[in-house]
A and B are shown apart, each in its own frame.
Chain A
Amino acid sequence: MKEIFIHPERSLGVKLIIAIGLSMILVTFIFWFAILHKQKKDIYSITVRAGKSFVNFIKRRARHNMLALNREEIQSAIEDISIAEGVERIRIFDHRGKIYYSTDKVEIGNLVDKTSIACNACHIDLSKPSAIISEPKKWEIYKNLKNFTALKLIEPIYNESSCYTAACHVHKEDEKILGFVEAEISLAILDIAQFRQGLALTGYVFIFFIVISLLIGIILYKIVTSPINELVTGMKKVSEGDLDYRVAIMTKDEIGVLGNAFNSMAEDLKKAKEKLERWSKSLEEEVVKKTEEIRKTQQGLLQAEKLASLGRMAAGVAHEINNPLTGIVTFAHLLKKRFPPESPEAEDLNVIIEQADRCASIIKNLLTFARTTPSEKTIVNINDILSRTIHLVKNQERFFNIKFDINMDKSLLITHGNASQLQQIFLNMFINAADAMNERGTITVATKKKKEDNKTYIEVEFTDTGCGIKPEDMPKLFEPFFTTKPVDKGTGLGLSVSYGIIKNLGGDIKVKSKVGEGTSFFITLPLIEREQ
């Protein structure tokens, strides 16, 4: 649009106006010329007719005066007539060209110019008087000395019986033409009138041209430029990203069709853009989701790897420690035998033996849990294992003051695993719960089915009403040897080993805890789905 404002000659409207204007000028010029020409012709024809009657009048007056032998009267008559406006000269001459009467008295008695229309209107060649044009043109329009248009009329005076029978006997009977009346009339008034008329016509044409141009301009603006501007605005808006913009073109012509096409294009673009945006959004969500999954998996793998390597290390250390322990135990026993049983030495040696036994027990636990050899897996029923474990713990003294809130899913909850391993894990959960509650409180045990990522899992919940886990301890929970229990109560291996086993079975352990309120452990295991 800017360019059009800078270069108006590029505007469609201006171009159209110029084209239409030029053709109009051409057409009106032709009309103007034709009208003026026709007018001129008509005026001349009227003038010639008037001139003819004028000349006839002179001729009749001359004839009348001639027959009355009143020659002076002829001269004075033409002089009187010549006073009339526009009459330049009236003269009467005979067939040989000798001027008898004239308003220009000087030329009386002279011969007329032989090249004049007075002669060549009839004679083709003056040397051959008999060669006569049958229908002579008895008038001529020419430019006079003042460069105005003038009309010259010739009227022959024929020999009539009254002429050659007159008493004067001037004319013989065989004479055909006695002479000519010639009148020269200036048409200067007509020239001026015609010039004025032409001027007025030109003015009208000019006004007409201006009005038509304006009208065309307005119409063009209304039906072409304005909607095109609207379209241009729409295109700019759309290209700038405003896909909601619609052009307001209501006409049913080509521009209206164009406008509708533009609107439907914008609509399609909008839909396509929305579709793309939806795609990109869902793609982004998918990417975020997958990234999170990968991060979790990596974290899990890292954790598992960490635990595995720690487990291997623990096993190696434990094995190496067993050898020196053998020495300590053996020598302590052998030494003890040398003292009486109640002696202080024997008691001190008992302490050595007890502490060595404790070491041995820690290492035994460590080796049992850190065992990396895969155990045999069978299809096991989680509810059964859990029930057996609950039965086992309920009969233990430390669980006597603990209430069990059991809520098991009655459906068949089976998975691949090792029953004794799983029992060990569940047992460990109960022991941890009892320790956390100082052996008083409620343990909630629940099993249920849980859907996650299109897979069905068994979820086993262990919730205690114990002291809870401090947030700073959470990350270390599954690390080997991490424990919050008193030195002689826990090795810090239970959860780490449980975690390893559950992970190996394709499951997971999750914890929720609030200090002072309690802790919930959620063990998930893949469910084997069978038709019941």
Chain B
Amino acid sequence: MKKLLVIDDEPIVRTSCQKILIPEGYEVKIAENGNEGLEILEKERFNLILLDLKMPGIDGVDVLKIIKERWPEIKVIILTGYSTVETAVTTLRMGAFNFIEKPFTPDKLLKSVEEAIGN
């Protein structure tokens, strides 16, 4: 079973991801912020991380940087409510696999996840 970690400060976004992905056979863990996400990553291995950019505490871009330093093999999809071409280009250059604009439909999320890790 593929394991995913959702790092987002918004409970509704985390819940949405769980609701969409768990029925499709994914194991979904959640973290409320960057620090918590990194702590979980220290303990467990994941196939994919869904990462919010704008969070209190460590910013999504910094979290991405750390993930790519320590676990370069883990794929990361950026979830953003504030997509600009610039931030998209920046995160993709830093090693993000893809980025999804909020609000997203269940189909779009599933499609992106499948593109990244297959089912």
Residues of A within 8 A of B (CB): 315, 318-320, 322-331, 333-334, 356, 360, 364, 367, 371, 373
Contact = CB atoms under 8 A, between A and B. Distances in A.
Contacts of B105: 329-330, 333
25 contacts: A319-B54, A322-B81, A323-B10, A323-B13, A323-B81, A324-B12, A326-B12, A326-B13, A326-B16, A326-B102, A326-B104, A327-B12, A327-B15, A328-B103, A329-B106, A330-B19, A330-B104, A331-B16, A333-B106, A334-B19, A356-B103, A360-B103, A367-B82, A367-B83, A373-B86
- Most chain B CB within a 10 A radius of its CB, from A315, A318, A329: A329
Nearest to A316: B82
B74 interface: no
A319 B12 contact: no
A325 B19 contact: no
Contacts of B88: none
Interface in B49-107: 54, 81-84, 86, 101-107
B82 A331 contact: no
Contacts of A373: 84, 86
B99 to A, nearest CB: 13
Interface in B3-55: 10, 12-13, 15-16, 19-20, 54
A38 B57 CA distance: 139
A354 to B, nearest CB: 12
A323 B86 contact: no
Rank and list the top 4 A-B pairs by shortest CB-CB distance, nearest first: A322-B81, A327-B12, A330-B16, A325-B103
Given A319-B54, A330-B19, A334-B19, A325 B102 contact: yes
A371 B84 contact: yes
B82 A315 contact: yes
A329 B104 CA distance: 7
- Most chain A CB within a 10 A radius of its CB, from B81, B102, B103, B106: B103
Interface residues of B, number: 20
Contacts of B104: 326, 329-330
- Most chain A CB within a 10 A radius of its CB, from B54, B102, B107: B102
A85 to B, nearest CB: 152
A367 B86 CA distance: 13
Contacts of A329: 103-106
Contacts of A360: 103
Nearest to B23: A334
A405 B101 CA distance: 41
A330 B20 contact: yes
Given A326-B12, A327-B12, A319 B81 contact: yes
B106 A334 contact: yes
A108 to B, nearest CB: 169
A333 B107 CA distance: 9
A364 B106 CA distance: 19
A27 B103 CA distance: 129
Nearest to B100: A326
Contacts of B13: 323, 326-327
Given A327-B12, A330-B103, 16 more contacts: A318-B81, A319-B82, A322-B82, A323-B10, A325-B102, A326-B10, A326-B104, A327-B16, A329-B103, A329-B105, A330-B105, A330-B106, A331-B19, A333-B106, A334-B106, A373-B86
Contacts of B86: 373
